[in-house]
Structure 1
Amino acid sequence: MSATPGELGTPGPPVDAGDDAGLPTDPGDPGRWSAAAGSLFGDRLPLAVSYARKLSGDGVVRGLVGPREAPRIWERHLLNCAVLGELIPNEAYVVDIGTGAGLPGIVLAVARPDLRITLVEPLLRRTEFLAETVTELGLSEQVRVVRGRAEDVVDVPGIGLPADVVTSRAVASLDRLAGWCLPLAAVGGRVLALKGAAADEEVAAHADAVRALGGAAPSVRRCGVGVIDPPATVVVTVRERVVAGAERPARGSERRSAARRGGRPDERGGDRREGRRRGGRRS
């Protein structure tokens, strides 16, 4: 994948714009969203609370979550991701592309223990956080972490592709997301992209490109109606057919990803952006 989603603070529509009244002191406490959280997570709500605390604590310290987002983990992130489960069939195999800090993949794993989920993320510091979180939450039998870009994991052995469902909360246009995600889905499978208020305009602008990549006409769905306000906006694309050439990466095919090397960390320290932030140079 040529671009990756930003850390928390950039993606996703909020559950309730609201004001600061009612925000819990403990970010792990869903506070005024307790009813919605209980409805979505059921008896696994304690796991969701633990994940919220992980994001709001260690996630902030390690730069995966913006400090201003920490008090709003539930309203802006966890609940919006959890309602995506409405569109995922029972016992499905889900691949979450550009998962970042685990959104929506880890949230779905907590809310839906029937799902098997692979989290795909290219940056080392994020995959380390993801692996730790999966272990701490006791999700190791359900969730796998793979370091790599979407276009690089198409033919990596052991991932179990094609997937029933491919999810993404990435900040990218619909045509680019379709190019990354459709090759990972089974024919008849779904690509679910969490989007914002401009989803209808994106569908209109990129429907032809999605069809050319083998997808059916994308549609916009609202998830969590009556549970969260406003509902989450999701663009749904069903993979109708295999398109010759779409299984291969469009760019960067000359670069061996960490996933193709068996998921081993890049000893040179990740991508160029991380190197620049550290003030280092790539050899």
Structure 2
Amino acid sequence: MFGDRAPLADRFVAILADTGVSHGLIGPREVPRLWERHVLNCAVIEDAFPASARLVDVGSGAGLPGIALAIARPDLDVHLVEPMQRRTDWLSDTVAQLGLANVTVHRGRAEELVGVVAAPWVTARAVARVAKLARWCVPLLDGRGTLVAMKGRSAQEELEADRRDLTRLGLVDAAVRQHGESVLDEPTITLDLTFEPRPRRSKAAAKAASKGRRGTPAPPTT
């Protein structure tokens, strides 16, 4: 999976098992299964992104999937978005320890970073239901772009339940995909959602449209 960067992935797992636990980013019970359940589980979605892609990991937390992807794919330009100071401090320290020149850490909520961070690809792991997640992530897409949301076995059901809300956000294509069948006992499932930005109307146009919906006032009577 990681090729000659496997020692770097080993170091990341060691950091997760140490300060990742002490900082409350990883539960102690997760330590024995850090490799398969967390690092490999995230790294296998690297096949969702084209060469040299720029992507944003929303709610990065313990650097999952962002740091795992940056190790597996040094060609990626990865931006980690996390609102909590102690987590961004840990992320910055971990990125420095691993020497990952292709990772940038941003502190703030996704909605606070609109206009500051943007990319054709956004990803997230176990952050929220897909409609809510899309409301946070779509504004970070640079033009037409794709949200790769890591989900469980109910991905298709969640997509169908939330499709109407996703369509309002500009959804133009959706697919449920599996990753890592050759390296994981249970493949990772993602919802890959492509959005086309809606053209923004000027204030004058919006005002005129609103007036049109209300109807033209009747002329005064004499």
Q: Into which bin does the TM-score normalised by the smaller protein fall?
A: 0.7 to 0.9
Same amino acid, percent of matched pairs: 49
Q: How far has the Cα of 1:74 moved from its partner?
A: 0.6
| 5+ long unaligned stretches in structure 2 | 202-222
Q: Which amino acid aligns with 2:168?
A: A
Per-residue deviation, residues 121-170 of structure 1 (Å, max 9, x unmatched): 0011110110000000001x2111000001110122xx4x2x02100003
Q: 2:113 aligns with which of 153, 156, 174?
A: 153
Q: Quick check: 1:178 aligned with 2:134?
A: yes
Q: Which amino acid aligns with 2:73?
A: R
Per-residue deviation, residues 28-77 of structure 1 (Å, max 9, x unmatched): xxxxxxxxxxxx11110010000000001111111111000011101110
Q: Which residue of the partner structure matches residue 28 of structure 1?
A: none
Secondary structure, counterpart of 2:121 in structure 1: strand
CA distance in 2, matches of 1:73, 1:244: 44
Q: Which residue of the partner structure matches residue 142 of structure 1?
A: 102
| 5+ long unaligned stretches in structure 1 | 1-39, 246-283
CA distance in 1, matches of 2:144, 2:180: 24
Matches within 5 A, 1:41-80: 41-80=2-41
Q: Quick check: 1:201 aligned with 2:157?
A: yes
**1:207 and 1:217 in contact (8 A); partners too:** no
**2:173 and 2:195 in contact (8 A); partners too:** no
CA distance in 1, matches of 2:199, 2:84: 29
Residue range with higher mean Cα deviation, 47-56 or 181-190: 181-190
CA distance in 2, matches of 1:206, 1:243: 22
CA RMSD of aligned residues (A): 1.3
CA distance in 2, matches of 1:244, 1:181: 18
Aligned length: 201
Per-residue deviation, residues 164-202 of structure 1 (Å, max 9, x unmatched): 210000331110011111111123321000001111110
Q: 1:92 aligns with which of 46, 53, 74?
A: 53
Q: 2:78 aligns with which of 83, 97, 117?
A: 117
Q: Which residue of the partner structure matches residue 212 of structure 2?
A: none
Which TM-score applies when normalising by structure 2?
0.87
Q: Quick check: 1:214 aligned with 2:170?
A: yes
Which TM-score applies when normalising by structure 1?
0.69
The structure with the larger Rg is: 2
Change (3 A) 1:94 1:48: same
Change (3 A) 1:173 1:243: farther
Q: Which amino acid aligns with 1:224?
A: G
More helix, by proportion = 2
Secondary structure, counterpart of 2:15 in structure 1: helix
Q: 2:147 aligns with which of 176, 180, 191?
A: 191
CA distance in 1, matches of 2:143, 2:72: 26
Q: Quick check: 1:167 aligned with 2:167?
A: no
Which structure ranks higher in relative contact order (CA pairs < 8 Å, sequence separation ≥ 6)? 1
Secondary structure, counterpart of 2:196 in structure 1: coil
More strand, by proportion = 2
